[in-house]
């Protein structure tokens, strides 16, 4: 099988310049919403490129969306690197951020820096992302930044430690919990994170926090006050069963179309409707006669 090569273009069909950290900060200062989406392979990266999004995240959510794990905890660094390399091959313009897998950075600063460097050197990532704003994550973020690699933070619902948070549920719904999130976000900002994801926290909490934040804040289920938004590729396009989290807006229903398409193909094969004459190749009559003659000698 083969396919024609393609070139990076935006929504208008013209090539975009690569997005840089200064460009992201400029958009934030101008009040231009930042668009971020996850991607896990070459086709999803091409879709993100074509849409002209600002940032692409190779999220550890790929553990569930494309690798079939029950949670993000099981995915390994090598698996995420494989996904990140595929995404990198499909991107030209968006700023590429790669998630650090659970267990790949918590042990020590040196472990965190070594893991982050792998994503930059082996997958071409522009930055890495780590979860939580506790003392450990803040220290690791600072160490990675000091090593010269941009870091995106992540507070609120942090899927890698969802069990300790009581499951996949909104965070910051009590005064104490909201204060904890505020302290974590400020600590990550102080550690040098260039951006922070706010996930599944009340919109009112986000609104109160935004005046304290100097770096771009990307929301997912955190209301409209953030500097930008991110959604999981498979959630927004409906490449999954069920509706997903409350904050998900579905823009397509590709899972349904895939299921129907494969079922129709299977039915056509079983009923011998496919392949039809228009799907086959021909041979010159004289060549066919010669082939038949040669074939008789092989029997």
Phi, psi of 228 (to 5 degrees): -170, 180
The C-alpha atoms of residue 211 and residue 103 are separated, in whole angstroms, by: 33
**Residues near 113 by beta carbon (within 8 Å), at least 6 away in sequence:** 143, 144, 147, 149
Residue 233: C-alpha distances to residues 39, 66, 214, 262 (Å): 6, 11, 27, 21
Choose among 170, 116, 175: nearest CA to 143. 116
The C-alpha atoms of residue 134 and residue 81 are separated, in whole angstroms, by: 25
Q: Please tell me which residue in 79, 146, 199, 278 is annotated as part of the active site.
A: 199
Residue 146 a catalytic site member: no
In the DSSP assignment, the letter for residue 176 is: H
- Which class for 83: exposed (0-12), middle (13-18), buried (19 or more C-beta within 10 A)? buried
Q: How would you classify residue 132: left for phi > 0, otherwise alpha for psi between -120 and 50, otherwise beta? A: left
Phi, psi of 58 (to 5 degrees): -85, 90
DSSP result, 179-241: HHHHHHHHHHHHHT-SEEEEES--HHHHHHHGGG--S-EEEESS-TTSSEEEE-HHHHTT-SS
The C-alpha atoms of residue 104 and residue 79 are separated, in whole angstroms, by: 12
**Residues near 296 by beta carbon (within 8 Å), at least 6 away in sequence:** none
**Known catalytic residues?**
199
């Amino acid at each position: 099988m083969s396919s024609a090569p393609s070139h990076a273009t935006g929504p208008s069909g013209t090539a975009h310049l690569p997005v840089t950290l200064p460009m992201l900060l400029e958009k934030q200062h101008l009040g231009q919403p930042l668009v971020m989406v996850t991607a896990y392979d070459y086709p999803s990266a091409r879709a993100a490129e074509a849409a002209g999004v600002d940032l692409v995240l190779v999220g550890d959510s790929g553990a569930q969306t494309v690798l079939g794990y029950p949670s993000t905890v099981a995915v390994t660094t090598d698996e995420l690197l494989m996904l990140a390399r595929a995404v990198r091959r499909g991107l030209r313009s968006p700023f590429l951020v790669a998630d650090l897998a659970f267990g790949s950075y918590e042990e020590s600063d040196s472990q965190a820096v070594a893991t982050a460097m792998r994503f930059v050197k082996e997958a071409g990532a522009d930055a890495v992302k780590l979860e939580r704003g506790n003392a450990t994550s803040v220290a690791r973020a600072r160490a990675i930044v000091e090593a010269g690699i941009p870091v995106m933070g992540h507070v609120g619902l942090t899927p890698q430690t969802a069990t300790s948070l009581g499951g996949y549920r909104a965070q910051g719904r009590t005064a104490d919990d909201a204060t904890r999130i505020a302290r974590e976000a400020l600590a990550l900002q102080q550690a040098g994170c260039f951006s922070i994801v706010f996930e599944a926290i009340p919109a009112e909490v986000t609104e109160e926090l935004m005046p304290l934040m100097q770096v771009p804040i990307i929301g997912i289920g955190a209301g409209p006050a953030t500097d930008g938004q991110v959604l999981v590729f498979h959630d927004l396009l409906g490449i999954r069963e069920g509706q997903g989290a409350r904050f998900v807006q579905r823009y397509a229903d590709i899972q349904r179309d895939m299921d129907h398409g494969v079922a129709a193909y299977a039915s056509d094969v079983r009923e011998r409707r496919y392949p039809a004459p228009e799907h086959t190749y021909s041979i010159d009559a004289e060549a066919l006669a010669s082939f038949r003659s040669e074939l008789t000698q092989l029997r």
